[in-house]
Amino acid sequence: MRVLFNRNPLKFGNVIEQPTLELVKNTPQLWNASLEDALKYGGELTKSAIGAMNLKFDCKHIIVDTKIHMLMKGFYPAIPSWHTDGVPRGEELKPDSKGDPNITAQENMSPSRFHLLVTGEGCLTDFVTQPTILDVPNEPTTELYRNVHDQIENQIDDLSIITIPSCTVVEWDWWNIHRGVKAQKHEWRYLIRATETDHMKPQIDLRQILRTQIQVYVPESFGW
């Protein structure tokens, strides 16, 4: 089945001041927090980032995630292959389900909207910016994003790709293809993503909301 991705252009919004090292280091991490809990528990940097976002308040829920990484050169703080966010999964078509991704179900569902901001200079997210038609499996499968990644890589020289600017709000929807990139320097990095969606609810248990661990991805040969 052939599917059109990157249907709508990225929207670049407000800019915040580059935070200090101490501010980033001391900012709490959040997982699937409600907007209210994010503002209450997320710290001053998160409040500033949310204040810069053009939230529409037209979906059932707003969910906020933040991540703080201490990066070494060569670390990947996010999935390094090309993918989309918020894909419906499993029989319930919930993005937070453990089921197989069902990209074609999005055609008949209200789209989720994402607002992203990343600090620092050495590890900023890449987006494919032009409308792109890809072949996807007809049925839900774990091979979806392997197929998406391989097709993007096979035509990457002909695609328009941008690296988002630092400390700038970027808005997109669940058809936009992007990837985490390899850190180019040693630095602390803050990321916030606010999701406006009808398809999943925020967490209500603070023991789940206040994230105390975070992972990175590294090549097998990595060393320092």
Q: How far is residue 79's CA from residue 168's CA, in Å, rounded to a whole number?
A: 21
Containing structural domain, residue 166: 2-211
- The closest of 88, 133, 118, 92 to 106, measured between CA atoms, is 88
Instruction: Answer whether residue 224 shows pLDDT above 60.
Output: no
Q: How far is residue 143's CA from residue 27's CA, in Å, rounded to a whole number?
A: 36
Predicted pLDDT at 79: 85
Q: How far is residue 91's CA from residue 102's CA, in Å, rounded to a whole number?
A: 9
Answer yes or no: is 216 within a domain.
no
Predicted pLDDT at 153: 96
Q: Which two tokens stand for residue 183?
A: 């850190």
Q: How far is residue 96's CA from residue 87's CA, in Å, rounded to a whole number?
A: 9
Answer yes or no: is 221 within a domain.
no
Answer yes or no: is 220 within a domain.
no
Answer yes or no: is 223 within a domain.
no
Number of structural domains (the chain) is: 1
pLDDT tens-place string over residues 151-189:
999 999 999 999 999 999 999 999 999 999 999 999 999
Answer yes or no: is 148 within a domain.
yes
Q: What is the CATH number of the domain that holds 177?
A: 2.60.120
Read off the pLDDT band of 198 (50, 70, 90): very high
pLDDT tens-place string over residues 16-65:
999 999 999 999 999 999 999 999 999 999 999 999 999 999 999 999 99
The model's pTM: 0.95
Answer yes or no: is 218 within a domain.
no
Answer yes or no: is 132 within a domain.
yes
Answer yes or no: is 222 within a domain.
no
